[in-house]
Amino acid sequence: MLDQQRIDTLRSEPVAARKLFIDGQWQSGSGGVLEVLSPIDGSVLTTIERASADDMTRAIASARTAFDDGRWSRLAPAGRKKVLHRLADLIEREALALSVLGVRDNGTEINMAFKAESGSAAGTFRYYAEAIDKVYGEIAPTDENILALVHKEPVGVVGAIVPWNFPLMIGAWKIAPALAAGNSIVLKPAETASLSLLRLAELASEAGLPDGVFNVVTGKGSVVGEALALSMDVDVLAFTGSGATGRRLLEYAARSNLKRCYLELGGKSPNIVFADAPDLDRAAGVSASGIFRNSGQVCVAGSRLLVQREIHDDFVAALAKRAEAFRVGDPLDLGSDIGAVNSLAQLEGDLAFVATAEKEGAERVTGGNRILEDTGGYYMQPTVLTGVGPRDTVAQEEVFGPVLAVIPFDSEDEAIAIANDSNFGLAGAVWTSDLSRAHRMVRRVKTGVIHVNTYGGADATVPLGGVKQSGNGHDKSLHALDKYFDLKTAWIQL
């Protein structure tokens, strides 16, 4: 059980200015520093390096040298396994401190951060530590005078760019399988959520990861992110973030060495509630959590609620009641259900979406305002909008905030048509007691993840990835390893 007194002690600790982590050492950058503003109260928490393109080139060179000399890439899988297990141990040892540091940086409520950040990261490193010495090559069934082998080899240098909403969790989804496969990594965190990942690099070194294998470079995406993506010495780029940035990364890959790009670009996930849902009250509660947790800053958030017309009004009323019951406040207070929006710019964007929705004819059932402004922090009421058309802005564009668009439907076919009328295809859900309908919806709703009579909670054993403009490739599960291996055929005449 989390202890408020311990949390308060950790939150009071000063955060030292952080450097770049390159070649196993803390190093200064050449571009000055960036202030880190805490979304809790708007105060300056510390500074991080505003790295230059030259700093990024230096980090990539370190990763390339470490890969080429085999200090990690040629270590036996059992040896890599031991180091990754030690890293998981260290994450668990510092789980609360890591979580508090992350909350001070990005505003996620501590109850969620403890599970989804440090807890998930430790579990992810353990998962791939256990998996890697059980992943084999192949012997092909060909001519009896030929021995045909398929080897799995690490790709080389992996560039990873991760967002601010769950930096430690999403970072681990990319770092752990890439390291397990034997690659070196250069990580570029979000400017507004770098601190826990810088600490992770330090812990990785303590766990025994060789110098140069894991490097962290902070700074502006337009500078160091671009340098990472344009590098001729980066073999794979793994990214989670916006579609606009994902498109630029693909362009940079084409302009450089045609590096493989794996992109998770968010969603506008449909949460479809039929009148025959097994427990409508539970569906309302889970649906509210599925959009409002972490102030809606979740890539798989159920931001489009499709409700069968015959239950629409009652269901919306029940869900709005749940939304109004959430306590929005200081994310390091265990009594808060929802924490802060990550930045002032993000908050202003969220509010602008509400204003646009109302101009287009939507009605505000509850929420939609900035609150607790006197704290200096960035807080917003959970917002429920009805009267939203399937093609309205708030139904088509990812808000990435605590804003729910409710759309009524009559038939199963209509629900599917509305659900699939989106450029995105990351996640979704269906609530029904009809087993046949559930299976039909699973097949027909075009998403990478579909929940039935629940929302969220999928663990490391299953892949997360999208279709359409939600991206390509997969995080989590054994399938994530595919991104970080090359296949080499050995055709041997006997």
Angle subtended by helix axes 195-207 and 95-106, to nearest 10: 150
Residue 416 lies in a domain: yes
Q: What is the CA radius of gyration of the chain?
A: 23
* Residue 1 pLDDT greater than 90, yes or no: no
Give 87's pLDDT tier (boundaries 50, 70, 90).
very high
Pair of tokens at residue 247: 């498109």
Mean pLDDT along residues 452-471: 96
How far is the C-alpha of 372 from the C-alpha of 374, rounded, in Å?
Answer: 5
Taking alpha carbons only, the member of 406, 183, 206, 451 closest to residue 315 is 406
**Looking at the structure, do residues 156 and 21 belong to the same domain, yes or no?**
yes
**Domain match, 157 and 31 both:** yes
Distance CA 494, CA 491 (A): 10
Residue 466 domain-assigned (yes or no): no
Region 157-165 average pLDDT: 98
Q: Same structural domain for residues 289 and 205?
A: no
- Same structural domain for residues 254 and 275? no
Say if residue 439 is in the same domain as residue 401.
yes
Q: Quote the percentage of the chain above a pLDDT of 90.
A: 100
Half-sphere exposure of 87 (CA within 13 A, CB side): 33
Residue pLDDT, tens place only, 277-322: 999 999 999 999 999 999 999 999 999 999 999 999 999 999 999 9
Is there a single domain that holds both residue 159 and residue 193? Answer: yes
The string of DSSP letters for 353-409 reads HHHHHHHTT-EEEE--SEE-GGGTS-EE--EEEES--TTSHHHHS---SSEEEEEEE
Pair 309, 410: CB distance under 8 Å: yes
CATH at residue 256: 3.40.605.10
Q: Are residues 246 and 342 in the same domain?
A: no
Q: Based on the fold, state whether residues 237 and 322 are members of the same structural domain.
A: no
CATH code assigned at 376: 3.40.309.10
- The set of catalytic residues is 264
Cα dihedral sign for 383, 386, 390, 391?
A: negative
For residues 195 and 114, state if they share a domain: yes
Number of domains in the chain: 2
- Whether residue 192 is found in the same domain as residue 299: no
280 and 254 in one domain?
Answer: no
By the 8 A CB rule, do 265 and 466 touch? yes
The identity of residue 379, as a single letter, is: Y
* Beta-sheet pairing, 383-386 with 270-273: unpaired
Residue 322 falls inside a structural domain: yes
**DSSP conformational letter for 268:** -
Tell me whether residue 428 is in a domain. yes
Mean pLDDT in residue range 84-104: 98
B/e letters for 71-82, b = 16+ CB within 10 Å, e = fewer, are: bbbebeeeebbe
Confidence of residue 186 (pLDDT cuts 50, 70, 90): very high
Residues 88 and 222 in one domain: yes
Give the chain's mean pLDDT: 98
Expressed as residue numbers, the domain containing 403 is 270-459
- Residue 166 is predicted with a pLDDT of 98
Domain-embedded: residue 48: yes
In a domain, 26, yes or no: yes
Q: What is the pTM of this model?
A: 0.97
pLDDT 10s digits, 19-65: 999 999 999 999 999 999 999 999 999 999 999 999 999 999 999 99
Query: What digits encode the pLDDT tens for the residues 200-216?
Result: 999 999 999 999 999 99
Rounded Cα gap, residues 457 and 112, in angstroms:
12
Is residue 439 domain-resident?
A: yes
pLDDT of 144 reads 94
Residue 464 lies in a domain: no
3-state secondary structure of 172: helix
